[in-house]
Amino acid sequence: MSHQSVLSYMEELAPLSYAASWDNCGLQFGNPGDACRGILVSVNPSLAAAQEAGRLGANLLITHHPLLFKATKRLDTRVDPGRIIQFLAEAGITSYAAHTNLDATACNHHLSKLFGIPMDRPLEVEGRHPFYKLVVTVPIDQSHGLLEALWAAGAGKLGEYDRAGFWSDGTASFRPLQGATPAVGAIAQDHAGPERRIEVLVPGRVRGAVLGALSQHHPYESPAYDLIRLENAGEPYGIGLWGELPSPMTAYEVAERVRTGIHPRTLRLVGDGNRPVSRVGVCSGAGGDLVNRAIELGLDLFITGEVRYHTALEAAQQGLCLVEAGHQATEEPVVDVVVEYLRARFPDLAIQGFSEPEPFEVLAP
């Protein structure tokens, strides 16, 4: 199995097209055609992470932050990133990054779950998830099983609805040729029989999983199907999320949800901790640039990793509470998401997460 096989699944979880224009996601260093012997997942492409991958025998390092971010004119191997790249080259390790594209699909969704706060609308819309319509015919007596498999893979979901589909019955005809292994019919004989035409919506992010389910559960060796991209459907995606609480909480109570959800080393609050809040947003990492957007949306409280001093002053003046939990603390949880996702798809491959301490030491006042 090559690295590219793994990276294809990574790009289903976090499509490269979802990355911000200023970002550098995807392959950072190495050969995606190399055979994959193991994977290490980390927030940072640090030398410590690279060395841990080497110690474990993993030759694919998947990180959240890019190894190469700004334009690089020279690589001095005495300092990073040159030092890291030299180690990767000598150890035969390939480096790959999923940054803002993973933010858009996984990081903040996972924080929402950890905090127990419903947030599913993007703060800053960057685009829309593509939607497709899958059309396929199948013998009527096997149509229910195929539909169940397609739905289980993620087809038939749109907004607040799932298990959606359309079907109609008709007659299909074909003639198996020499070399075929037909599920129905006989070699060199015309066959005509009742079949069901199934149509289901397919969100772009599960396209590969749905087509895999089609191939696995359709009785025909080579099922014919149409996959049509739709122009009038698609859920928005972007950076950050927001939502409305079922019932108001105080800012202190939200901060406590953050504390118990991710156990940050530091936790700071801007605003009145006793203020009831209903509209809450989140952005992992350096989300301070989205404070004005949070104000525009009328949010009561915004959770992020780091905020500048003057940004915090502006938020306080505008009546927006802020919970600052640390850049690394808000991004570290996505490592578990990626590890679990890849283990489910490559159970025979050694896949580990890597955690390293934050660069800041908290001193007593």
Compute the half-sphere exposure of residue 98: CA atoms within 13 Å on the CB side of its CA: 28
Phi, psi of 110 (to 5 degrees): -70, -40
Residue 273 lies in a domain: yes
* Amino acid 69: pLDDT: 87
Residue 361 maps to a domain:
no
**Considering the domain boundaries, does residue 364 fall inside one?**
no
Select from 210, 229, 248 the last residue of a domain. 229
How many H helices and E strands in the chain? 12, 15
Looking at the structure, tell me whether residues 244 and 109 fall in a common domain.
Answer: yes
The answer to whether 327 and 64 have CB atoms below 8 angstroms apart is no
320 within a domain of the structure (yes/no): yes
Sign of torsion over alpha carbons 226, 11, 305, 262: positive
Q: Is the pTM here over 0.75, yes or no?
A: yes
Give the domain range for residue 145: 130-229
Beta strands in 185-265 (DSSP E): 191-203, 225-229, 236-250
The parts of the chain modelled with pLDDT lower than 50 are: none
CA distance 93 to 108: 29
DSSP bridge pairs for 203: 131
Task: Please tell me the distance from the alpha carbon of residue 227 to that of residue 243, in angstroms, as a whole number.
Answer: 33
Whichever domain contains 217, its CATH number is: 3.30.70.120
For tokens 């934050």, the residue is 358
Are residues 139 and 69 located together in one domain of the fold?
Answer: no
- What is the rounded distance in angstroms from the CA atom of residue 189 to the CA atom of residue 115? 62
Phi, psi of 120, deg, nearest 5? -140, 5
Query: In total, how many domains does the chain have?
Result: 3
3-state secondary structure of 83: helix
Strands 236-250 and 268-270: unpaired
Between CA 12 and CA 180 the distance in angstroms is 32
Say if residue 216 is in the same domain as residue 141. yes
Q: 350 and 305 in one domain?
A: no
Which amino acid, 146?
A: L
Q: Six-digit token pair at 357?
A: 């301490």
pLDDT of residue 93: 98
Cα 177 from chain centroid (whole Å) = 43
Looking at residue 178, what is its pLDDT?
A: 84
**204 with 277, same domain?**
no
Indicate if 120 and 141 belong to the same structural domain: no
Domain boundary among the residues 208, 229, 250 is at 229
Provide the H-helix boundaries in the chain.
Answer: 3-13, 47-56, 82-91, 100-102, 108-115, 143-152, 207-217, 251-262, 291-296, 309-317, 327-331, 333-345
SS3 96: strand
CATH of the domain at 88: 3.40.1390.30
Q: Is 207 exposed, middle or buried (0-12, 13-18, 19+ CB in 10 A)?
A: buried
Question: Quick one: 114 and 193 in the same domain?
Answer: no
Q: Give the Cα separation of 205 and 234 in Å (integer).
A: 11
CA-based radius of gyration for the chain: 24
* Whether residue 83 is found in the same domain as residue 145: no
